[in-house]
Structure 1
Amino acid sequence: MSTEVKVPVLGESITEATIGEWLKKPGEAVALDEPIASLETDKVAIDVPSPVAGVMGDTLFAIGDTVEVGAVIANIEAGSGAAAKPVSAPAANAASDSTASSGDMPPLSPSVRRLVLEHGIDPTKVKGTGKDGRLTKEDVLAAANNAPEQNAATTDSAAAAPAASGPVRREERVRMTRLRQTIAKRLKSAQENAAMLTTFNDVDMTAVMETRGKYKDLFEKKHGVRLGFMGFFTKAAALAARDVPAVNAQIDGDEIIYFNYLDVSVAVSAPNGLVVPVIRSADQMSFAEIEKTIGDFGKRAKDGTLKMDEMMGGTFTISNGGVFGSLMSTPIINPPQSAVLGLHRIEQRPVVMPNGEIKARPMMYLALSYDHRIIDGKEAVTFLKSIKDSIEDPSRLLIDL
């Protein structure tokens, strides 16, 4: 007797996905609700759990195939099955064998498997930080950086050639993930369909940094989360949007939709690319609620456990490229939204004070990209200036100025 495994409902308006990897091989034991496959959608990777305990049967699709919601992708047979085979450490030149089987490794995503072979890393000796202890690209790269003697070995058989032959020139062609394809289409669509423009300002972070320094220990002790910058900027954006509602509005055909709430999309790094979960009604949240929500999003993005509905909607986006060291950028709006606020790294720069004195101050560049069809230049500048004023004088956030 066998039980069919079907593609689950993936979320609103999402009707298909791509087989990202098979987490179980035919003949292996499968527990109830144990993930057997990973699907890549337009938004995120989703694990498909087994509906019953048994033995992994036939897989009906290959990695990279597109499957629709409700399609049968595998069968689970009755029985106890066999445990997954232990993995032996791959030799540094093992990847050069084109017949090498992924069955010699624990379940790895294609990108992680490629890195494992490329760096000659034994995946069984690396602690995974992903969901259920699975390896991420970051885990493999960290292991490679800590093993220079392994890094020196190359996975290409051409590396065995004498040094006199010169450096090895290689090319690699990798299929774009479904998520990356969607990101590419959406960003290109934003440039083609919106009259996009970016305005800049800079902000003195002294007051916010002093506030954090003064209250961070008490804040963390009381709320169990660190006080970050995003709470300040989210609150500042909420106040600014009240005065400039067009920044938090959207075009729908020949109509404009104005929202009396602020649902903030926050760009978060995930193993398969950038995902944008949404903080619902962020304008009604406390600093602690905002920081807790963002921290939870970041953790679950890394684990691959974000839900589809958590990334749907959003009326405004905040993207913090500063965490990666970006000094300045022109972020692209996230359709159908009309604006995105870009944050950047903080660095000491000389600033002329009102009394003419020059001081070194912790400065950050702010960028607001917006759809000029709905937001006028004056409105964009006013919005960004309002955020600057709130950050440079955080007491404004408390008295609603």
Structure 2
Amino acid sequence: MSDIVVPKLNNNDTSYTLTGWLIPHGAPVSAGDVIAEIETSKAAQELTSSGDGVLHHAIAAGAECQCGDVIGRILTGPETAPRPEAVPAQPGQNPMITEPARARAAELGISEARLHGLGTSIIRSKDVELLAQAGSEATHTFSRGQRAVAAVVSQSHRTIPAAFAAIAVRVDDALAAARELGKRHHRFVGLPELVVKAMAGLRAAHPLMFAARLDEHTATLAPAANVGVTLDLGQGLFIPVLTGAEALTCVQIAEKLAAFKIKALDGAFAAAELQGAAIVLALHNDPDITLAGPIVFPGHTCVVALAGTRQELTLDTENQVRPHKIANISVVYDHRVVNGRDAVAFLRDLKTALEAPATLTQIGDPASC
């Protein structure tokens, strides 16, 4: 016999929802079969069978569960006889309503008949939220994802004493280098891709910026530059992670970000794609945004913010007025781990890398070899 245990899916949620069993109670399964789906506030995660045997459900579809809970078992040999605690699959014509969805519907005064009218086989919390929004013009109901964001923001402000610094960067050369890369590889490459590459390259020189504070005496240093990038395309805030970004070329970073943007449009991220960041780049690069100071996410030491690009007139070395494109890059950091001098040194090195972008665009670029 082997237990089906709920894994830790993210740091934002204390509980998840078993949205459905994909294989019926009492049915045979093989190792690697997808047997159930669990929903977090950000993504749906499939669970697979760890071995061959007969699947027994321990909780019903729609129930809440937590990391470490046993939600079912894979039984072999004599153990395959039904157990009293097993919960059979729920047959019938009516859709399955998850427990969080049922509770939210009760809060909003939405009847079960209205939920059945949605015409979907599984009704989740987000379906209830959408139904509530469609029937009301005077109020706005926060989605489960937004409520998770609110919890993280509150935890950050409550537990992390943050400090702030910003630096102005001339990005003319970086933008030109990005355009050249895009033309050469037929991919869109922009300033964010170069900032990710520059940040990742600073892990060895500035390890505390990529650290996670354990206690008053200790911080864990990241073994790789896993860079999270904020994406909000109207379907909620997501922070997918570019794993091992220091080993990626700018073009590879561009390809991965493009794929993440597609997933952000419909919230199709796997839980694994949203985990493991050591540092975060918050994109506030609308042309009218001059400065941004996002929160430090719990478990991180700092977050870097890229503001919009603007044109300024500056004096060159010969006192001639020249136009330059400028972007402000800021860092918000946990002052218990990083001091102001360290944060400024990190920003200066980031500025140096972006103002001389040849090393960023050539390292690992097949076309430059």
Task: Using structure 2 for the length normalisation, give the TM-score.
Answer: 0.68
Q: Distance between the aligned counterparts of 1:241 and 1:284, measured in 2?
A: 12
Alpha-carbon offset, residue 262 of structure 1: 0.7
Amino acid of the residue matched to residue 15 of structure 2? E
Q: Can you list the C-alpha shifts for 1:304-345, whole angstroms capped at 9, x where unaligned?
A: 331212222211111111158533211111121101110111
| Paired residues for 1:96-135 under 5 Å | 101-107=114-120
Alpha-carbon offset, residue 38 of structure 1: 8.5
Amino acid of the residue matched to residue 317 of structure 2? P
State the SS of the aligned residue for 2:190: coil
Aligned residue in 2 for 1:187: 153
Aligned residue in 2 for 1:315: 278
Contact 1:248 1:262 in 2 (8 A): yes
Alignment partner for residue 322 of structure 2, among 348, 359, 365?
A: 359
Greater mean deviation of Cα atoms: 318-327 or 262-271? 318-327
Alpha-carbon offset, residue 261 of structure 1: 1.8
Greater mean deviation of Cα atoms: 338-347 or 255-264? 255-264
Q: Distance between the aligned counterparts of 1:195 and 1:10, measured in 2?
A: 27
1:264 matches 2:227:
yes
Aligned residue in 1 for 2:139: 172
1:207 matches 2:173:
yes
Q: Distance between the aligned counterparts of 1:322 and 1:241, measured in 2?
A: 23
Q: Distance between the aligned counterparts of 1:206 and 1:73, measured in 2?
A: 63
Contact 1:44 1:275 in 2 (8 A): no
Q: Can you list the C-alpha shifts for 1:159-204, whole angstroms capped at 9, x where unaligned?
A: xxxxxxxxxxx63262551x33332222222222222111011111
Alpha-carbon offset, residue 245 of structure 1: 1.8
Aligned residue in 2 for 1:141: none
Aligned residue in 2 for 1:233: 195
Amino acid of the residue matched to residue 11 of structure 1? L
Task: Using structure 1 for the length normalisation, give the TM-score.
Answer: 0.63
Greater mean deviation of Cα atoms: 270-279 or 106-115? 106-115
Contact 1:219 1:227 in 2 (8 A): no
Gaps of 5+ in 2: 21-33, 49-59, 73-85, 95-109, 364-369
Aligned residue in 1 for 2:207: 245
Gaps of 5+ in 1: 1-5, 23-34, 50-59, 83-97, 120-154, 157-169
State the SS of the aligned residue for 1:362: strand
Contact 1:351 1:360 in 2 (8 A): yes
Q: Distance between the aligned counterparts of 2:308 and 2:37, measured in 1?
A: 35
- Structure 1 residues 175, 260: CA separation in 2 closer, same or farther (over 3 Å shift)? closer
Alpha-carbon offset, residue 9 of structure 1: 5.5
- Structure 1 residues 355, 218: CA separation in 2 closer, same or farther (over 3 Å shift)? same
Query: Size of the alignment, in residue pairs?
Result: 305
State the SS of the aligned residue for 1:101: helix
Aligned residue in 2 for 1:383: 346
Q: What is the alpha-carbon root mean square deviation over aligned residues?
A: 4.1
Alpha-carbon offset, residue 47 of structure 1: 8.0
Aligned residue in 1 for 2:98: none
1:372 matches 2:335:
yes
Contact 1:270 1:304 in 2 (8 A): no
| Paired residues for 1:331-342 under 5 Å | 331-342=294-305
Q: Distance between the aligned counterparts of 1:9 and 1:270, measured in 2?
A: 28
Contact 1:7 1:73 in 2 (8 A): no
Q: Distance between the aligned counterparts of 1:239 and 1:175, measured in 2?
A: 38
Q: Distance between the aligned counterparts of 2:232 and 2:5, measured in 1?
A: 26
Contact 1:46 1:304 in 2 (8 A): no
Amino acid of the residue matched to residue 216 of structure 1? G
- Structure 1 residues 252, 233: CA separation in 2 closer, same or farther (over 3 Å shift)? same
| Paired residues for 1:16-165 under 5 Å | 16-18=15-17, 40-45=39-44, 66-67=64-65, 70=71, 75=89, 77=91, 101-107=114-120
Q: Distance between the aligned counterparts of 2:87 and 2:308, measured in 1?
A: 46
